[in-house]
């Protein structure tokens, strides 16, 4: 009898413990998410960093000048809610009214706002199967249904796949991580055939020789063109991205931003970003240098036994004829040469190599020539 009582008491205690455990298990309140995984930011003194499509050259001297003369007293005050002088500088540069420009904390912020603002019909949003891996993450975060039409065997977007009912469209042009450009006429056809949904063209890499759809925003009310200062303007660390579109779309983006966080662009970012846009000469010369290095890199990669779709961006998406991408990726990593490898269907035998300086590319190619010598 006593044994049974003891047993009951023990079970009651266990139940009580379980109750405590249950109420303190906070994870049941958590959102189930699989976040975007950014490329690593290693910190070796001797590293060659070609893994996150940053610009190897410093930002314009005008940015330094702005930072050196910045009056800290300005930081007492809140900044303009819509990017102030930065928005105006972008509007002036592209010849549009400032009411047609939306700025954000990098183009990731602008794109996330676009998903929130424009993909609410309940119908499926479309983006390619191989593309910027943040799109499905935002779609899941904002409960947006989506479908991913496959790129063709040459990694080209098939425009006809987007001539159907949908809840919105988003794709990068040039695409990432392939670097492949869609001709502007095809972009326009996708936009014009989808007047009932918003089409977002993510032009993160457009400045490296591709054709921008920005001018088409004067003509189409359903087009949003998104660009960034992270690549062609060497300002990944500042975090500036922007969208150009018809006023009604920009008004909607601002309304969504102001329902979440009004002051996204701080005073330092606004001033430094504006200074960068105004230095067109430096911008053009930097882009030109990278394009030249990229074109030379294509020749060398070809000689080393790599194949790749033609890139119009600041990276090349390359596959070796006899050695696996994973093996090369790991061999490079050991030498502190960092490129990007995606272990994903269809692209797990490719390396995405950011175009660095000529010196950085030479170190990469010298190593590859030696490593691949006996393996071909
Ligand atoms: N779009 C594409 C296609 C990208 O590759 C990137 C860079 N990761 C971005 C947008 C975002 O860049 P950022 O937020 O630095 O402007």
201, 224, 230, best to mutate for ligand 1 pocket (most atoms within 8 Å of CB): 230
- Three-state secondary structure string covering 179-195: CCCCCHHHHHHHHHCCC
Q: Which residues pair with 281 in a beta bridge?
A: none
H-helix or E-strand spanning residue 66? helix 61-69
Q: Kindly tell me if the per-residue pLDDT of 179 is higher than 70.
A: yes
Task: Pull the structure tokens for residue 331.
Answer: 């061999």
Q: Cα(256)–Cα(113) distance, rounded to whole angstroms?
A: 7
- 158 phi and psi angles, rounded to 5 deg: -90, 105
With contact defined as beta carbons under 8 Å apart, do 59 and 234 qualify? yes
Q: What is the pLDDT of residues 297-352, one digit of tens each?
A: 999 999 999 999 999 999 999 999 999 999 999 999 999 999 999 999 999 999 99
**Is any ligand 1 atom within 6 A of the Cβ of residue 131?**
no
Q: What does the pLDDT read at residue 374?
A: 83
Confidence class of residue 152 from pLDDT cuts 50, 70 and 90?
very high
Q: Kindly tell me if the per-residue pLDDT of 355 is higher than 90.
A: yes
Q: What is the pLDDT of residues 9-29, one digit of tens each?
A: 665 565 555 555 557 899 999
Q: Cα(302)–Cα(306) distance, rounded to whole angstroms?
A: 5
Q: What does the pLDDT read at residue 16?
A: 59
Q: Kindly tell me if the per-residue pLDDT of 367 is higher than 90.
A: yes
37, 104, 107, best to mutate for ligand 1 pocket (most atoms within 8 Å of CB): 107
Q: What does the pLDDT read at residue 290?
A: 98
> Separation of 108 CA from ligand 1 center, angstroms?
6
Percent of the chain predicted with pLDDT > 70? 94
- Three-state secondary structure string covering 233-301: CCCCCCCCEEEEECHHHHHHHHHHHCCCCCCCCCHHHHHHHHHHHHCHHHHHHHHHHHHHHHHHHHHHH
Q: Kindly report whether the global pTM for this prediction surpasses the value 0.85.
A: yes
Distances in Å between the Cα of 207 and the Cα atoms of 27, 71, 203, 308, 352 are 44, 32, 8, 20, 18
Task: Pull the structure tokens for residue 36.
Answer: 């975007």
Percent of the chain predicted with pLDDT > 90? 91
**Is any ligand 1 atom within 6 A of the Cβ of residue 227?**
no
Q: What does the pLDDT read at residue 375?
A: 82
Q: What does the pLDDT read at residue 21?
A: 56
What ligand 1 atom has the least distance to the C-alpha of 111? 10
Q: What is the pLDDT of residues 185-204, one digit of tens each?
A: 999 999 999 999 999 999 99
Q: What does the pLDDT read at residue 264?
A: 98
Chain mean pLDDT for the chain: 95
Q: Cα(3)–Cα(180) distance, rounded to whole angstroms?
A: 76
């Amino acid at each position: 009898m006593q044994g049974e009582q003891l047993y009951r008491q023990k079970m009651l205690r266990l139940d009580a413990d379980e109750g405590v455990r249950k109420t303190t298990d906070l994870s049941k309140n958590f959102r189930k998410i699989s976040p975007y995984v950014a490329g690593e930011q290693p910190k070796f003194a001797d590293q060659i960093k070609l893994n996150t499509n940053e610009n190897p050259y410093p930002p314009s001297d005008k940015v330094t000048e702005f930072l050196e003369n910045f009056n800290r007293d300005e930081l007492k005050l809140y900044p303009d809610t819509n990017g102030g002088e930065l928005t105006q500088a972008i509007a002036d540069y592209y010849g549009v009214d400032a009411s047609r420009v939306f700025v954000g904390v990098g183009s990731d912020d602008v794109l996330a706002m676009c998903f929130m603002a424009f993909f609410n019909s309940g119908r499926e949003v479309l983006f390619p199967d191989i593309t910027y891996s943040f799109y499905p993450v935002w779609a899941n975060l904002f409960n947006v249904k989506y479908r991913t039409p496959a790129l063709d065997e040459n990694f080209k977007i098939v425009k006809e796949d987007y001539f159907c009912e949908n809840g919105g469209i988003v794709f990068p042009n040039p695409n990432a991580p392939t670097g492949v450009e869609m001709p502007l006429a095809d972009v326009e056809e996708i936009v014009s055939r989808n007047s009932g949904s918003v089409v977002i063209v993510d032009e993160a890499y457009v400045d490296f020789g591709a054709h921008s759809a920005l001018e088409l925003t004067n003509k189409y009310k359903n087009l949003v063109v998104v660009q960034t200062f992270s690549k062609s303007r060497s300002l990944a660390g500042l975090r500036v991205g922007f969208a150009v579109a018809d006023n009604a779309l920009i008004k909607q983006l601002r309304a969504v931003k102001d329902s979440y966080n009004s002051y996204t662009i701080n005073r330092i970012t606004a001033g430094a970003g504006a200074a960068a846009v105004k230095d067109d000469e430096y911008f053009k010369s930097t882009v030109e240098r990278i394009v030249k290095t990229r074109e030379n890199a294509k020749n060398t990669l070809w000689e080393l036994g790599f194949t790749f779709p033609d890139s119009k961006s600041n990276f090349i998406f390359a596959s070796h004829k006899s050695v696996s991408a994973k093996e090369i990726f790991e061999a490079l990593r050991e030498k502190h040469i960092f490129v990007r490898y995606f272990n994903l269907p269809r692209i797990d035998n490719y390396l995405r190599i950011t175009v660095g300086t000529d010196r950085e590319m030479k170190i990469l190619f010298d190593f590859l020539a030696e490593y691949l010598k006996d393996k071909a």
